[in-house]
Amino acid sequence: MKNMKKALCLLLCLIAALSCFALAAAAEDEPAACEHEYKVTTVAPTCAEQGYQLHVCSKCGDYFKDNYTNPLGHIYGEWTNVRTATCTVEGLQERECVRCHGKETRTISVIPHVDEDENGKCDVCGAKVEVKKIFSPFEWLKSFIQFLREWFNSIFA
Ligand SMILES: [Zn+2]
Ligand SMILES: [Zn+2]
Ligand SMILES: [Zn+2]
């Protein structure tokens, strides 16, 4: 009697599981009833994006794209200065596409320090500048004699 109950229970479980499986399978196998009626819209390419034809079914909303066309590419104007490069700050330039007004920027590297008065400091920003001394034997001799003279003076003063 106990075994009968057990077997019956197992059978019921099996039936339940099978019917679940059957229902799920039926749902998946449901045939696509729509006889699609696609409406075609042509989407023009832009500077950066491809163009294409969009087909949308007016009945069920199903859609696909095809007949892709290449992006047009930007038509840039001249570079204009946004910020002029100095010896401390990078410069910035930009140009604009005449079609989509998309902007492109580029940086201009810093320019060298200027030391016109050769005081070892940049005339613009005051940074230390390596003074390029051209070695001249005559100048060297002059400063050496000057040194000697001062040295003698300090001894015989
Ligand atoms: Zn459809
Ligand atoms: Zn553009
Ligand atoms: Zn400078």
Rounded to two decimals, what is the model's pTM?
Answer: 0.49
Residue 8 and residue 12: Cα distance in Å, rounded? 6
Contact present, 70 and 50 (Cβ < 8 Å): yes
Band of the pLDDT at 136, cuts 50, 70, 90?
confident
In the chain, domain spans: 35-73, 74-111
User: Once rounded to an integer, what is the mean pLDDT over residues 120-133?
Assistant: 86
Distance, CA 55 to ligand 1 centroid (Å)? Answer: 11
Residue 52 and residue 66: Cα distance in Å, rounded? 6
Distance, CA 152 to ligand 3 centroid (Å)? Answer: 42
What is the number of the ligand closest to the CA of 115?
3
- Whether the pLDDT of residue 11 is over 60: the answer is no
Distance, CA 113 to ligand 1 centroid (Å)? Answer: 70
Residue 104 and residue 84: Cα distance in Å, rounded? 16
pLDDT tens figures, 59-101: 999 999 999 999 999 999 999 999 999 999 999 999 999 999 9
Contact present, 42 and 53 (Cβ < 8 Å): yes
Distance, CA 113 to ligand 3 centroid (Å)? Answer: 4
- Print burial letters for 77-113: b (CB count within 10 Å at least 16), e (below 16): eeeeeeeebeeeeebebebbbeeeeeeeeeebeeeeb
User: Does residue 56 sit in helix, strand or coil?
Assistant: strand
What is the number of the ligand closest to the CA of 114?
3
Mean pLDDT, the chain, whole residue set = 85
Band of the pLDDT at 41, cuts 50, 70, 90?
very high
